[in-house]
Amino acid sequence: MPTPSYDLVIIGSGPAGSTTARFAARQGLKVLLVDKRQELGAPIQCSGAVSRHALEEVGVTPDAEFIHEPIYGFGIYNEKGDRTVIDYRRLKADEYGPGEGQKPLGYVVDRRRFDRYLMTQAERAGTEVWLKTEGLSYKPDGNGSCEVFLRRFNQEVTVKARVLVGADGLQSQVGKWAGLRTHIRITELASCLQFIVDQVETEGLLEIITGHEWAPGGYAWVFPKGHGYAEIGLGVIPTMTDKNAQWHLDRFIRHSFFKERFKNSRILEIQGGGVPLASPLRTQYADNLILVGDAARHVNPITGGGIHTALSGGHLAGNFLAGFLNQGKPPTAQNLEGYQNCWLEELGNKMWKLYDVKTGIFRKNDIRERDALLYQTMASYFSPHSEYKKI
């Protein structure tokens, strides 16, 4: 049987992979999207907070199918419980709110349903999808294509591609196959844990609690999840504490200024995972290969948010590759550098700037000074005048 041949093979069907696939397939590329999971988005390792703008920018219509709860702003707390409220229902009442002609600022989405929705959109654009298919390695043939080695169910399968896209998340292997430097420092990898709980009152705001006292190196959060449910979580940098994330989360729930608010809540689900609070990869391309999303460290180093950047990175990657391959250009590393340059111009330079801000905060040895700076930075980051509001 001849080896199946595609323009793009994409490893990983999270927001980055599905969005790359959708835009590339829509412009006529033959795309294969594979994911090792048999159920997309499961187990959930994400709180699902994403701005409306992030969805609309990539043509995703907010849909009750995947939305848990609309969001209208932020409550940012310092370690003592003083808070800055940035409620767009008050700041821009003509635009934001639940009423007729108003809109939410963002949403908490159900990642299982959201990922499935995005994958379906990619499929409708013409992408072929193989679940329970793991990417194993790749080999450029020096002739404009590469072989991609996969395990589909229990069978090894080889396919050909002009470009392999690594959208395989935080623990990406695809970049390593090409010898890219993908190592992430332990000092920049937040260990995150969240409980899904009931009986917590929320106000349509994403609440973010800063301070070394509660979450060394990161922050704690309370996100509304609809129907009286909420996500209470936090991320810590393991080198900044000798306790683990669970110890900090228990302590936050039992001893913080929120303890009364949490006293009747029961833990219904436990979710966790790593978040890179790192810089983007310096090189995100090789011969016949690019990386996108968490795999390329397209993650906001201050908030740890990666859905928006995965969607925008996927949009950019899909469009770039379609334009590039449809012109018949050879996908050498030299040519694919253009993808990274476009990404830097659109998003990446701002992410590098954010990385510098974050490094500046955590380089401070004085904890009180660091706490004050993180609180101020978070509060200004989410304000209507923030220069970063598009990421």
Ligand X SMILES: Cc1cc2nc3c(=O)[nH]c(=O)nc-3n(C[C@H](O)[C@H](O)[C@H](O)COP(=O)(O)OP(=O)(O)OC[C@H]3O[C@@H](n4cnc5c(N)ncnc54)[C@H](O)[C@@H]3O)c2cc1C
Give the residues lining the site for ligand X (CB under 6 A): 11-17, 34-37, 45-50, 134-135, 167-169, 173, 192, 194, 271-273, 275, 293-295, 299, 305-308, 310
- The CA-atom distances, in angstroms, between 159 and each of 138, 144, 288, 289, 293 are 10, 14, 14, 15, 23
Q: Show the DSSP H helices in 217-306 as ranges.
A: 245-255
Supply the minimum distance, in Å, between the C-beta of residue 380 and ligand X: 19
CA triple 340-36-21, angle to 5 deg: 40
**Beta carbon nearer to ligand X, 56 or 82:** 56
At closest approach, how far in Å is the CB of 196 from ligand X? Answer: 11
Residue number with CB closer to ligand X (63 or 369) = 63
The distance of closest approach from Cβ of residue 255 to ligand X in the complex, given in angstroms and rounded to an integer, is 22
C-beta of residue 189 within 8 angstroms of C-beta of residue 195? no
- Report the C-alpha gap between 130 and 9 in whole angstroms: 11
Q: Write the Ramachandran bin of 385: left for phi over 0, alpha for psi from -120 to 50, otherwise beta.
A: alpha
| Residue 192 vs 302, nearer CB to ligand X | 192
Among residues 12 and 97, whose Cβ is nearest to ligand X?
12
DSSP three-state, residue 34: strand
Q: How far is the CB of 93 from ligand X (least distance, A)?
A: 26
Least Cβ distance, residue 274 to ligand X (angstroms): 6
Beta bridge partner(s), residue 200: none
Give the nearer residue to ligand X in terms of CB position, either 232 or 310: 310
Distance CA 301, CA 306 (A): 9
Name the residue nearer to ligand X (CB basis): 273 or 323.
273
**Residue sitting closest to ligand X (CB):** 306
The whole-angstrom distance between residue 323's C-alpha and the CA centroid of its chain comes to: 25
Considering the complex, what minimum distance in angstroms separates the CB of residue 361 from ligand X?
20
- Number of C-beta neighbours around residue 39 at 10 A: 12
Q: In terms of CB distance, is 16 or 335 closer to ligand X?
A: 16
Q: Name residue, tokens 């835009």.
A: 23
User: For residue 226, what are the contacts with CB-CB under 8 A and spacing of at least 6?
Assistant: 68, 69, 108
Q: How far is the CB of 170 from ligand X (least distance, A)?
A: 6
- Number of helices and strands in the chain (H, E): 10, 18
